[in-house]
Structures are given as C-alpha cells and as structure tokens.
Amino acid sequence: MISATRRIFRLSVKELRSLLADPVLLALIFYVFTVAVVQVATGLKFEVEAAQAAIVDEDHSELSRRITSALLPPLFKTADVIAPAEIDAGMDSGRYVFVVEIPPKFESDALAGKKPSIQINVDATAMALAGNGAVYIQEIVARETASFLRRADGGGVTPVDLVVRSKFNPNLNSMWFTSVMEVINNVAILSIILTGSALIREREHGTIEHLLVMPVRPLEIMLAKIVANGAVIVGASLLSLLLVVRWYLNVPIVGSVPLFLLGSILFMVSVTALGLLLATFARTMPQFGLLSLPVIIILYLLSGSTTPLETMPDWLQWVMSFTPNTHFVSFAQAVLYRGAGVDRVWPELAILAVIGVVILGLCRSRFAKTISAQD
C-alpha cells in the first residue's frame, strides 16, 4: 500500500511538471477561472436595465401621467411620449423595446369599475429582457392604478396586500447566479479536457511506452493523472471563487467554503475519470476534441446551471440524474447560495461519491485494456 502510494505520488509529480511545461494549458486555466468568469458575470444579464420605453397616452389623465412617471431608472430610461402613428416605426427601428398604450377614458373607466385594458407592445428579439420587462411594467401599472383608486376611494384598504420577499438574492441580481455557475461549469470542462489531453499527449509523444516498462499498474497511472490534474482544477476553482467571485465581483458567498471544497473534490473525481474514459476511445487530440465536445455541451446545458432542470421533460430529468454535473450544481447552489450544511446536502454528496466510483470502475477497465493494447 505504501509503495503504491509512493508511485502514485511520483507519477502525480510527473503530471504536474508536464502541465507546468505546457503554457497553452496554463493560459487556458488562468483565462477560464478569471477573465471568462468576469465576462460571463458582467455581460450575461437577465434583469432589465436601462430599457427604452415609450408611452402612447390617449387619456391625458392624472392616472396615465402617474403610470408614465413611474417608468424610472435603473430599470427603464425616461419614457418618451409618442403618438400612435410612431409605434411601428419606433419598434421596427429598435429604438423602443416597450411601448405602453393607454386608451382614452382609461381613468374614468377605472373609477367606474369597468376594468379597462392597457396594451403593452414588446420587442421580443431579446427574449429574457422582453419577458422580464413586460412583467415589471405590468407590476408598475397595477401598483399605480391600485394606489390611485385607493386614494380616490378615500383611502380604502384592499382586501389582499401582496408582499413579495426574495430570499438569497433580494435584488434579483443575475451576476450572483452566473458568476458562481460559470466557475462550476469551468470545473467540469477543464476536468475533462486536462485529463483526457494528458493521456493523448503521452500517447502522441510515445511516453506511454516508458510507463509500460516501469513497475506501475494501469490503475496507478490513471489515479496519478486524476490526482494531479484534479488538484490543479480544484485549487484554481477555489481561488476563482474567493478572489474573482467574492472579492472582485463582490458576490456574497454565504455557505461553507470547506464544504464546497469537499463536494468539488468528489465531483472532480467523476469528471476527470470521465475525461480519461473519453480519451481511451480516441487516438489523437483532434479525435478527443470531437468526442468530448458533445459530452461537454450536454453536461453544460442540461445540468441545471443554465436552464432550470424542472423545465425539462421528465425523461430527460431522469437521464440527467445519472450525471455528476446535475448533482454538483444542486449541491453548490444549496451550499453557496442558501448556506446549507451537511445535514441538507449529504444525499448529493453520497450520489456524487457513487457516480464517481462507477465512472472510476468503467475507466479502470477501459484504461487497462488501452494500456495492454500498447504492449
């Protein structure tokens, strides 16, 4: 046992030296955990910010003026008051994202209890902006109308007072979500790329034959690659979380960082083994790239980090439950966003451990056959 551990350690040192001698991979690691995280967090936004809106006020009443003045920064720019004939030209040219049409006699019909309608025209080219902005405008119109009617009624109290409190992200800032999820996605991507390319690189350089004449087992070679590359990735992700996400982007991390580190190690074992498994089916680096690309895309898009898992078909949710990314995303969101402890996330940790053991077993079998074929 001691001698096997020593061999794994020495092989891991060899892998680290090989990685440090590759400036392209080092630059890639630095980029994805720094620049890429910042670019995605600051550039990919789902909330409405400084959207250009216009008002077609055919009522010219106090209520319509209140609605117009309620479209305020930072959600909206100061709304332009336009004529009905300017709607099509303004939206076709992209000058206005939202156009609110207030019909004649809107205030008088509202006071009479006739439930008048307001039309909101939306440029749905930017779907997320259009959907969220339309919801904000509906809330503004409903709030201003209700406030106006209460005052006209003599300050009567509405039967229902709806109060919305957003937990864990009170300002609904998308950067809090995208920055952490980008770190998690990059862990999976780099784990597959680094371990797989390490095996392909040795095969292309002919150093795999040197390992075959040494008194080492295929499992030890495999574990050394997992340990070396995994240690680099986990360390880089931890620094990215603390320095880039929490310090530079000022995103609060409310949960336990050591607990997240434990989950990252379990997750790293699964995906690094998956990278080695994919590399055993490829003979060259281009083949490995083409083979790993669809796997990375599927894990990236369907793990719940970009699209909510609940919106997917039931059969797809069931299939994705067998992938480590799905459980790691759920684990990371619970720990980092909601401050969950071990008592809450131990099922996800257990599932990650089981998936890791299964993938390691498959990788060991395939890796041993690949190594034997080189003999």
Shared domain for 33 and 61, answered yes or no, is: no
pLDDT for position 300: 87
Q: What integer pLDDT is reported at residue 56 of this predicted model?
A: 92
Residues 6+ apart with CB under 8 A from 228: 11, 12, 13, 15, 16, 19, 198
Q: Which of 117, 152, 187 is the last residue of a domain?
A: 152
pLDDT band at 1 (very low <50, low <70, confident <90, very high): low
Helix (H, G, I), strand (E, B) or coil at 98: strand
| 323/329 Cα distance (integer angstroms) | 11
For residue 80, give the H/E element and its range: strand 80-81
Looking at 91, 118, 152, the residue that finishes a domain is: 152
How many domains in the chain?
2
Model confidence pLDDT, tens digit, residues 166-196: 777 777 777 888 888 899 899 989 999 888 8
Q: What's the predicted TM-score (pTM) here?
A: 0.79
Structural domain for 144, as ranges? 53-152
pLDDT surpassing 80 at residue 101: yes
The reply to whether 158 falls in a domain is no
Measure the CA–CA gap between 226 and 222, rounded to whole angstroms.
Answer: 6
Do 257 and 197 lie in one domain? The reply is yes
When pLDDT is averaged across residues 106-121 and rounded to a whole number, the result is: 87
The answer to whether residue 155 scores a pLDDT higher than 60 is: no
Q: Would you state the pLDDT for residue 209?
A: 61
Is residue 201 domain-shared with residue 326, that is, in the same domain? yes
Is residue 167 in a domain?
no
Whether pLDDT at 239 is above 90: yes
Q: Name the nearest CA neighbour of 44 among 180, 138, 139.
A: 180
Within a domain: 246: yes
Q: Is 115 exposed, middle or buried (0-12, 13-18, 19+ CB in 10 A)?
A: exposed
- Across the beta sheet with 53-57, what order do the strands follow? 80-81, 53-57, 98-102, 119-122
27-30, Cβ contacts within 8 angstroms, sequence gap of 24 or more: 28/190, 28/193, 29/190, 29/194, 29/232, 29/233, 29/236
Same domain, 22 and 101: no
Per residue in 253-298, pLDDT tens?
A: 888 999 999 999 999 999 999 998 898 888 888 888 899 999 999 9
Q: How far apart are CA 311 and CA 301, in angstroms?
A: 12
217/280 same-domain check: yes
Phi, psi for residue 254 in degrees, rounded to 5: -90, -15
Least confident of 50-54, 209-213, 217-221, 343-347: 209-213
Tokens standing for residue 263 = 């989950």
Give me 10's structure tokens: 């020495």
Same domain (yes/no): 240, 107: no
Which of 134-148, 207-221, 333-347 has the least mean pLDDT? 207-221
Residues 39 and 114 in one domain: no
pLDDT attached to residue 371: 64
252 and 364 both lie in a single domain: yes
Residues 65 and 190 in one domain: no
Secondary structure (3-state) at 298: helix
Residue 22 falls within a domain, yes or no?
A: yes
91 located within any domain: yes
Same domain, 225 and 348: yes
The reply to whether 370 falls in a domain is yes
Question: Does residue 278 lie in a domain region?
Answer: yes
Could you write out the DSSP letters of every residue in 234-247? HHHHHHIIIIIIII
Say if residue 30 is in the same domain as residue 75: no
**Would residue 160 count as lying in a domain?**
no
Give yes or no for residue 211 having a pLDDT over 80. Answer: no
Q: Over the chain, what is the mean pLDDT?
A: 85
**Confidence label for 244 from pLDDT (cuts 50, 70 and 90):** very high
Q: Are residues 101 and 210 in the same domain?
A: no
Write out the H or E segment, with its range, that includes residue 54: strand 53-57
The least confident of 57-61, 175-179, 353-357, 371-375 is 371-375
User: What CATH number is given to the structural domain containing 68?
Assistant: 3.40.1710.10
Q: What percent of the chain has pLDDT over 70?
A: 90
